[in-house]
């Protein structure tokens, strides 16, 4: 699903590498945490996976395609198969819950019939079936993140990438969001989560990739945050 080979990334010549000689393979249907302090390289890695930026050297394969050689016209296909969940939600605040989820389907050309069928289904999956007509501004932070998650899965992506998805949430709500991601993973979707949340990582005991100063310093199955080097 994702494979990095001798991958380096720095934003400007002469600067320290944001990622240095990174190697790993993530298989289909895995659930993986990326952990490390701010500046460790987690966000850079996520940007590379969605081809927002390109590595300075080395290879990065996503869905078995080398993204460094991916033609620009293939980028929509790549990103259509990746659902993004953000710490700051990035929702259309003056629109309804339904509209926010439907928009993700409109941009890839889904039919009205498919949208009418799919949106209520994903809202039910995240527990928001009764909030479809509610404006985003009238929702709690946890509910807004659920909308973000519904939007991310609306197009049945093969992979979900969540960048600090619990960063602005209280512990109970954070756990609810992670349980939803866990359930999505159980349905076969690959889930990658970049997080500082030690309690969440320790509780779920999934595979953990540890980053420090741009280097991958640990890779453990059923890992815990406490093992960060």
Within a 10 A sphere around the Cβ of 179, how many other Cβ atoms?
12
Within a 10 A sphere around the Cβ of 49, how many other Cβ atoms?
21
Instruction: Quote the radius of gyration of the chain (alpha carbons, Å).
Output: 18
pLDDT band at 189 (very low <50, low <70, confident <90, very high): very high
Q: What is the mean pLDDT of residues 111-123?
A: 97
Q: So what's the pLDDT on residue 13?
A: 86
CA separation for the pair 49, 53 (Å, rounded)? 8
Q: Which residue's structure tokens are 């990622």? A: 19
Q: So what's the pLDDT on residue 8?
A: 97
Tell me the pLDDT tens digit for each residue of 58-97: 999 999 999 989 998 888 889 899 999 988 889 999 999 9
Q: So what's the pLDDT on residue 39?
A: 85
Cβ distance 137 to 159 under 8 Å? no
**Residue 34: in which H helix or E strand, if any?**
strand 31-35
Q: So what's the pLDDT on residue 226?
A: 64
CA separation for the pair 7, 5 (Å, rounded)? 5
pLDDT band at 38 (very low <50, low <70, confident <90, very high): confident
Residue ranges per domain, the chain?
1-81+160-229, 90-156
For 39-92, list the strands marked E by DSSP: 57-62, 65-66, 82-86
CA separation for the pair 35, 224 (Å, rounded)? 10
Q: Indicate the Cα dihedral angle 6, 10, 14, 20, nearest 10°.
A: -30
Instruction: Tell me: pLDDT of 123 over 80.
Output: yes
User: Can you read off the two tokens belonging to residue 199?
Assistant: 């309690």
Cβ distance 60 to 49 under 8 Å? yes
Tell me the pLDDT tens digit for each residue of 126-176: 999 999 999 999 999 999 999 999 999 999 999 999 999 998 899 999 999
142 burial (CB, 10 Å; 0-12 / 13-18 / 19+) is middle
SS3 content of the chain, % helix, strand, coil (to 5): 40, 25, 35
Q: Indicate the Cα dihedral angle 30, 20, 162, 67, nearest 10°.
A: -80
Instruction: Tell me: pLDDT of 113 over 80.
Output: yes
Report the mean per-residue pLDDT for the chain. 93
Q: So what's the pLDDT on residue 61?
A: 97
Cβ distance 79 to 126 under 8 Å? no
**pTM of the predicted model, to two decimals?**
0.92
The CA-to-CA distance between both ends of the chain, in Å, stands at 26
Q: So what's the pLDDT on residue 227?
A: 59
**Measuring CA to CA, which residue among 55, 46, 42 is closest to residue 8?**
55
Q: What is the mean pLDDT of residues 170-187?
A: 95
CA separation for the pair 137, 216 (Å, rounded)? 39
The CA angle 73-192-68, to the nearest 5 degrees, is 30
CATH code given to domain 1-81+160-229: 3.40.50.300
């Amino acid at each position: 699903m994702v494979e990095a080979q001798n991958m380096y990334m720095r934003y400007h010549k002469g600067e320290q590498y944001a990622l240095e000689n990174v190697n790993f393979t993530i298989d289909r249907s895995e659930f993986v945490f990326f952990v490390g302090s701010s500046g460790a390289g987690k966000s850079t890695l996520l940007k590379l996976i969605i081809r927002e930026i390109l590595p300075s050297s080395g290879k990065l394969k996503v869905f078995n395609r080398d993204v460094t050689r991916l033609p620009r016209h293939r980028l929509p296909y790549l990103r259509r198969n990746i659902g993004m969940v953000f710490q700051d939600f990035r929702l259309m605040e003056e629109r309804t819950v339904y509209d926010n989820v439907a928009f993700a389907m409109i941009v890839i050309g889904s039919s009205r019939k498919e949208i009418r069928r799919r949106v209520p289904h994903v809202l039910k999956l995240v527990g928001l079936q009764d909030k479809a007509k509610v404006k985003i501004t009238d929702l709690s932070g946890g509910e807004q993140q659920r909308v973000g998650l519904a939007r991310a899965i609306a197009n049945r992506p093969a992979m979900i990438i969540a960048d600090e998805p619990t960063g602005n949430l209280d512990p109970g709500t954070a756990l609810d969001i992670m349980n939803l991601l866990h359930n999505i993973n159980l349905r076969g979707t690959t889930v990658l989560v970049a997080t500082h949340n030690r309690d969440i990582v320790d509780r779920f005991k999934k595979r953990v990739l540890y980053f420090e100063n741009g280097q991958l310093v640990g890779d453990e199955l059923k890992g815990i945050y406490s093992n960060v080097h």
